[in-house]
Amino acid sequence: MKIALTMENSQAAKNAIILNELNSVAQTTGDEVFNVGMCDADDHQLTYIHLGIQASILLNSKAVDFVVAGCGTGQGAMMSLNIHPGVVCGYCLEPSDAFLFNQINNGNALALAFAKGFGWGAELNVRNIFEKAFNSGERGLGYPLERAEPQQKNAAILNDVKAAVVKENYLDTLKSIDQELVKTAVSGERFQACFFENCQNAEIADYVKSLLG
């Protein structure tokens, strides 16, 4: 599985900590991690609005399979990611959140809080979150197991409802957003490396190229 990590500007200083824990878990699962921003205060400036745009482009183009995002509380990142088609983002403060989200909702993104509650031992909590997110066996089995059938049914219905609400073509949706926001979201070198090396949708690739000139 390909996993992208992206964080807003206010939490860029913690990028190395989060990346280290994510890489540590990925080494045990065989997953590949792409650090698409932000890495430091001098990086191109991303707010949680940009994180949602990044996640939607990476997931809808199948450049990655999963996105880990975060901001100060995690709430902004979660809302920003979830407004986009093809993105199902859970809110995660502790390892059980990651496990239950995987088993019940079976989404493709997580939003973490990188300021609120991020104190002594925070890196241990983050590593445990990633272990539950990426190293807990088959996803979408339900929890408890006797509730598996209705949970799987409801997760599918929710995806259908979202697809019905967002009726435009995905590229039309992207083009209807302020193009300066989208351009900033895709302007980072690490994002571009991840996207262009792994993108499986030529139309989305051409659109991003047109933004970058």
Instruction: Give 164's contacts (C-beta < 8 A, 6+ positions apart).
Output: none
Q: Quote the pLDDT of residue 42.
A: 65
Judge whether residue 86 has pLDDT over 90.
Answer: yes
Report residue 50: phi and psi, to 5°: -65, -30
Measured between alpha carbons, how far is 54 from 185 in angstroms, rounded to an integer? Answer: 6
In this prediction, residues 146-159 reach a mean pLDDT of 90
Q: Quote the pLDDT of residue 41.
A: 65
Q: Quote the pLDDT of residue 77.
A: 98
Q: Decide: 212 and 192 in contact? Cβ < 8 Å.
A: yes
pTM: 0.95
The three-state DSSP-derived secondary structure of the chain is CEEEEEECHHHHHHHHHHHHHHHHHHHHHCCEEEEEECCCCCCCCCCHHHHHHHHHHHHHCCCCCEEEEEECCCHHHHHHHHCCCCCCEEEECCHHHHHHHHHHHCCCEEEEECCCCCCCCHHHHHHHHHHHHHCCCCCCCCCCHHHHHHHHHHHHHHHHHHHHHCCCCHHHHHHHCCHHHHHHHCCCHHHHHHHHHHCCCHHHHHHHHHHHC
Q: pLDDT digits over 112-152, tens only?
A: 999 999 999 999 999 999 999 999 889 998 899 888 899 99
Q: Which of 110-114, 139-143, 164-168, 178-182 has the lowest mean pLDDT?
A: 164-168
Q: How far is CA 91 from CA 76, 84, 94, in A?
A: 10, 16, 9
Q: Quote the pLDDT of residue 137.
A: 87
In this structure, what CATH number is given to the domain that contains residue 138?
Answer: 3.40.1400.10
Beta-sheet strand order (sheet of 89-92): 32-37, 2-7, 66-71, 109-113, 89-92
- Tokens representing 109 are 């993104």
Domain coverage including residue 50 = 2-212
Q: pLDDT digits over 58-73, tens only?
A: 999 999 999 999 999 9
Select from 55, 56, 60, 73 the least CA-distant residue to 4.
Answer: 55
| Domain total in the chain | 1
